[in-house]
Structures are given as structure tokens and as C-alpha cells.
Amino acid sequence: MKYALASAACLISLAECLSLPPLIPSIPGVTEPLTTNAPPLPILQVPTPPLESPPFTPSDIKPKKIGYFWTGSGDKFHKDFLATYSLDDDTFGTLLWVTDVPSSGNDPHHLGPSLDGKTLFGGGLLSLLKTQDTGFYFDTSNPYRPKFLKSNRAILSSIADEVRAKPDGGFFITYMGSAVGTSPGRLIETDANFDIIHEWPEDVEGTLNILGEQFSPHGLSIDWENKFILTSDFVEPISILKPTTGVRRANTLRLWDLDSRKILNTLTIPDGGGIQDVKFIPNHPEAAALATAVHLGQVWVIYPLRKDANGKQGVVELLYDLGPKARDTVAIYTDISQDGRFFYLTLTTANHIAALDISDLSDVKRLDNPDEDQPTVGPHYVKVTPDQKHLVVTDYFVQTGEIGIINTPADFKALYIDINNDGSLSFNRTIDFSKEFENRGGAKPHSSVIFDLTDPENPLYY
């Protein structure tokens, strides 16, 4: 069933905004103990409704800079939520609002804004395990009081990852796994009403491509001017859950034609061991993009306009080796400054954030000290703020608990790091989600979106 964005049903009951209701309905006095006492199951979890969220104290201040954090309840029983905070200097870390979703245990993953800034999409990494919806949408037309809009799920795919807004409304979203968490995943496309309209590829050649070699799209970047999409293949989701013979990591990226949504070429980074992220460098003359090879601890550059030995578009080359401490760090996620000069990378299990000057790809300069002991545990999601003066980093990647084999250490903080004039970093302030949300068993902030309303006539969303 599809729902209008502001349907009366959604205003009456959040549960009615789900594409499908919970398999076990909420029964006061019955489902609460079932939720907290049910033992973990292999892979699938008991599809109980969430516990109601504890009260919080909102703030009526109207900061110019706002941080939205897509967050899981620490106990996995209470509702997952979007936390809205002030990022202004004088009120930094003030909690403005908490927007619940009508489900729990989703392990909230990536978050992204629509082009007009009126809607956020947040994906659920582990939603599938409780047969819940995978995509969650929030109305941010009042930026200080976000509202939950609706949620939905795809038919062929699950495990939501990266998201990019479409100019005509809606989103592109990478879904890393199939409907049951295996390979192949899909590239999801929604319309302006945020209904899923395509699960790419849909042509015969593209389908054979993703069936022939592991297709676990995680990273996603789009060059709207040159009409390219790049997706990077990370891991087969089900392989991180017990029972498992080990994590199945991919070594490939797919270069797509934006207009036809067809795969032009499969690009391989030999022994890459999970190509987690890829991003086009803004305004690069050759439309170059950077990708991270997690096993190798390396950055590779993709030139989509060049042709390989077989005459296909797309060439990939080693750009920079991050050194021995970056090897097998489980995750390497990135962001690039809007002028294309600086590249920031989180090395999750190395507890380190690296910074590179990429203004000259033939002479990349490292701006951080790889031996520095930084005040971060488990850094993962990173965004340069719209004013290009700060990095926002969330210290949480994935913890599957007893059911899986990926449980990365984390301190569950949001870091607000100053960017110096030369692109290097100065650690500054943090928001401690564990303390803020103790009454939910803590909280796990995975991703963020920053609104900058300093110029009301030119608001910025990223």
C-alpha cells in the first residue's frame, strides 16, 4: 500500500505510515515483556513492536546551524529516532527535538536531504531482520520540529546505504543486499512522492552483470553534468551474520550511464577487500572520483571519461596508500570539500580521521599525522559542513551483537571538528549520545545531515 506524504492516516497514527504494519501488533502488558525477554534468533529477529520512547525536554531556540542525527536506541527495543541539535557556537549541543519512527532495531544507517531541504531519507541497515521497512522519510519543512512522514521497502532488495537527491525530486539509494540480504543488491530510485519506482539494473545485460559478479552497492556518487553514476561494492550483508564462513567482500565498482540507468563498465581494484565509498571530486576537469579499498587501506582514483584496454569507459588507478594502520580497518568512509581540495577519511577500527590535500592528484599531500592519538573511538560517517569550516563525524559503525561477527568499538559521540585553513583538523566539541539518551539504553548515532540557515534567502543543506 502506498501513502501520501501528509496523509490523514499518518497524522493519526505513526504505525499507519508503515508500508506494512508489525507482524506482532502492540498489546499493552503483553508485547513489552516479549520484546525485552525474547532470545536472539539466528539472523531473523522476533518482529515485536517497539517500546514507547521516554520523554525528553525540547528547546525552543532557533539556531542558524542544525545537525540531524539518524540514531538507533541503544537497547534496540525503544523506537529509533532522528535527533535534532543546535550546532551554533553559543548553544552547541542543545537538543532541539526527537522524532521517533514506529519501529526499533533498524540500526539506522545513512541519512540525506532532498534537494529542497524539505525531506530527509534515512535507511535502516538491519531492518530486514525484523521484517520492517528499510527506508524512512522525515518532513523538515519546519527545520526545528522534523516530523516522521512514512516508511517503505523495496521488493528485490534491502539493506539501505548511501543516498543522493534527484533534481526533479526523490532519491537514488544503494541497497546493498537482495530481499534476503544476499547478493545482488540494487540501485533504488524513488519519485518525488518518495515511492520506489525502480530497482536498477532492469535491462538484461545489467541483470546478467550483477548476477555474474558480487553486486553489493554501498557507495554512491553522481556527476549530473557528465551523466555518470558510480556505485561501489562493499560486502554481502548476510555474510556478516551468524552462521557464516566469513565476510564476503567485493573488489568492484560499477560505472553507470545516468540517462539510461545502464551499467557501462565494471571496474576492479585487485584484492580491494570491500570498496566502501566512492565520491566524484567537485569540478574536476576529467570528472575524476575517489574510492576507498578497505582491505588495502588505499585510495584509488577513477577516470570515467578515459577508456580501458577493452575500449570501455572507465579507468581505475592507485592514488594513495594510507599506510599500515589503515589496513583492514573494517570501514573507510569519506567526504570532499566543495572546492575539491581536501579529502577526509574515517578509519573506523584505527580510531583515526585522515586528511589529504588532493588539489594536485599527481602530488597528494597528507595533512594529518597517522601516529597521532586522536580523541575518537570508532569514527565512521563524516560530512564537511555547508560552510566548509567543520567536519561532523559520528563515532559508530555497526554492532550486530550476538547474531553477527561485526561489532566495532564506538563511543557513540558526534564530533564537531574545526577545519584549519590548510585543510588540517583541530578537534573541538562533541555531543555524547550515551549520556543524552541513557533512558533508552544509550543511543547509536550513525549519520548526519547539516542545515545552515545563516542566510535565510540561501539556505544550505548537506
What DSSP line would sit under 404-422, residue for residue? BS-B-----EEEEEEEPTT
H or E stretch covering 409 = none
Q: Would you state the pLDDT for residue 9?
A: 41
Residue type, 133: D
Residue-number span of the structural domain to which 26 is assigned: 8-34+45-461
H or E stretch covering 315 = strand 313-321
Q: Would you state the pLDDT for residue 17?
A: 75
Residue 437 in domain: yes
Residue 436 in domain: yes
Q: At CA 184, angle to CA 208 and CA 127, rounded to 5?
A: 155
Residue 289 in domain: yes
Residue 117 in domain: yes
- Report the CATH number that the domain containing residue 13 is assigned in CATH: 2.130.10.10
- Determine phi and psi for 119, rounding to 5 degrees: -140, 140
Residue 40 in domain: no
Tally of CB atoms within 10 A around 238: 18
H or E stretch covering 207 = helix 204-212
Q: Would you state the pLDDT for residue 449?
A: 98
Q: For residue 261, what are the contacts with CB-CB under 8 A and spacing of at least 6?
A: 187, 189, 198, 200, 201, 202, 229
Q: Would you state the pLDDT for residue 22?
A: 59
Q: How many helices (H) and strands (E) does the chain have?
A: 4, 29
Q: For residue 79, what are the contacts with CB-CB under 8 A and spacing of at least 6?
A: 50, 51, 52, 53, 73, 100, 101, 102, 103, 104
Q: Would you state the pLDDT for residue 222?
A: 98
Residue 268 in domain: yes
Count how many domains the chain has: 1
Cα–Cα distance between 295 and 439 in angstroms, integer? Answer: 38
Cα–Cα distance between 27 and 33 in angstroms, integer? Answer: 10
Q: Would you state the pLDDT for residue 187?
A: 98
* Burial grade of 371 (CB within 10 A; 0-12, 13-18, 19 or more): exposed
Tally of CB atoms within 10 A around 4: 12
pLDDT tens per residue, range 410-444:
999 999 999 999 999 999 999 999 999 999 999 99
Q: What is the pLDDT along the chain (462 residues), one digit of tens a residue?
A: 333 333 334 544 555 577 766 555 565 654 555 456 555 545 667 788 999 999 999 999 999 999 999 999 999 999 999 999 999 999 999 999 999 999 999 999 999 999 999 999 999 999 999 999 999 999 999 999 999 999 999 999 999 999 999 999 999 999 999 999 999 999 999 999 999 999 999 999 999 999 999 999 999 999 999 999 999 999 999 999 999 999 999 999 999 999 999 999 999 999 999 999 999 999 999 999 999 999 999 999 999 999 999 999 999 999 999 999 999 999 999 999 999 999 999 999 999 999 999 999 999 999 999 999 999 999 999 999 999 999 999 999 999 999 999 999 999 999 999 999 999 999 999 999 999 999 999 999 999 999 999 999 999 999
Residue 305 in domain: yes
Q: Would you state the pLDDT for residue 185?
A: 98
Q: Would you state the pLDDT for residue 453?
A: 98
Residue 84 in domain: yes
